[in-house]
Amino acid sequence: MSVAVPGRGQQYSTLEIVRNGLWSFSKGFADSLRGAIELFFLDYRRAQQREQKLQQRDIDKELLLNRNSPVREIQNIAKRRALERREKERLRESSGNKQKKTEPTIMERTLKCCVLNGGVFGVSIVLFENLLLPLVQTLLYIILAGSQERADALWSYTQPVLSVAFSTLWVLPFFLLSKIVNAIWFQDIADLAFRSSQGRPLVNLSISVMIADTVFSIVVEIIFLVQGKVFSMVPIKIIGAALNLLHNCLLHSLYSFEYKWFSQGLELHKRLDYVETNWPYFLGFGLPLAVITSMPESQVMAGCVFSILFPLFIVSGNQAIIVSSPGIPPLNIFSPTIIISNAIFSRTIQTGSSKSLR
């Protein structure tokens, strides 16, 4: 049996379609794990590129100063003097008392994300739930050892009060603050990773278009997340769970590649079309993060796990080479989300224009 690909005029057998889909899926899965390895090499490559640029700048300067000498002799002199100057500058920087302010590295930003979200926020929640609450309960039962019923009644009031106080005074403020800090650090990691492999960002959009694109992206992603939750309510649990996992995989892939695509100047509709067209690859790419973040029962802990691991997937998305799936039709899974988003923005614009006319 063979299947024709719409718009291409090429036919693929069922076996070829299945093979192409499995290859794209496995390639996406493998590429998603590259970030853990590439993270250790990107900073070194950036340092090497910076050093080569500085050496070339010094060589060009020496060539300009000695332009009246013979060609071969001037090149050798320029290279030797440039290397000597660079060596002197390195020694001066290493032995100087004043530390020169350097640009943060990808590894530094990633470690800060791990410390903030895992070492501080996540550990504090684990300690509260598994150490502080049991300790208070134990002390309460020791103090009221003569009356088990009074201890049970008092603990039934104390435990919710402590939980609400902890959530209100610590979890909620820290969660909101960490979201802002994470957004800044994620952008730094994405920019550094992009410059280390592809140079300066190619964004040539106006400020108004960039703001509109960002706002529309946030709305689309929120509605798509809700769409996945709605599909998870399908009466057959296995199918509902599979549909929800599909949404989460594609959404996490979109998160990971969005920084790179935005730096390349791709607008939202092109980014979504890219995900729908190559959905087997993005399904495999987003699978590890979607599965790991679905394990914690608490949404707050799931957010901590996501924030710890997401920098690795930003690096993976930046270094990945997307593999297409010939013969597999696009999956128009974002269509309902786009329709709802367009309706919301159209109504908002109409409401705003009608108020301005009044």
pLDDT tens readout for residues 241-256: 999 999 999 999 999 9
pLDDT at 52: 67
Selected residue with higher pLDDT from 57 and 123 = 123
Element (H or E) spanning 2, and its range? strand 2-4
pTM, entire model: 0.76
pLDDT at 7: 47
217-274 pLDDT, tens per residue?
Answer: 888 988 999 999 999 998 889 999 999 999 999 999 999 998 888 888 788 888 999 9
What is the DSSP code (8-state) at residue 1?
-
- Residue 97 pLDDT level (bands cut at 50, 70, 90): very low
In this structure, are strands 2-4 and 11-13 parallel, antiparallel, or unpaired?
antiparallel
pLDDT at 101: 53
For 4, the 3-state DSSP assignment is strand
For 174, the 3-state DSSP assignment is helix
Length of the chain, please? 358
Calculate mean pLDDT across residues 31-38: 84
Q: Tokens 């020791």, residue? A: 142
For residue 95, pLDDT beyond 80:
no
Most confident residue range from 68-72, 106-110, 145-149, 289-293: 289-293
- The mean-pLDDT minimum among 113-117, 202-206, 268-272, 305-309 falls in 202-206
Q: Are 32 and 255 in contact (CB under 8 A)?
A: no
Q: Are 35 and 313 in contact (CB under 8 A)?
A: yes
Calculate mean pLDDT across residues 199-206: 62
Burial of residue 287, with CB atoms counted within 10 A of its CB: 0-12 exposed, 13-18 middle, 19 or more buried: buried
For residue 30, pLDDT beyond 60:
yes
- Residue 114 pLDDT level (bands cut at 50, 70, 90): confident
Calculate mean pLDDT across residues 199-224: 76
Calculate mean pLDDT across residues 137-143: 87
For residue 98, pLDDT beyond 50:
no
Cα 343 from Cα 313, distance rounded (Å):
32
pLDDT at 1: 46
For residue 352, pLDDT beyond 60:
no
Q: Which amino acid is at 342?
A: N
264-308 pLDDT, tens per residue?
Answer: 878 888 899 999 999 999 999 999 999 999 998 877 788 888 888
138-162: string of b/e by CB count within 10 Å (b at 16+)?
eebeeebeeeeeebeeebeeeeeee
User: CB atoms < 10 A from the CB of 215, how many?
Assistant: 11
- The mean-pLDDT minimum among 90-94, 113-117, 160-164 falls in 90-94
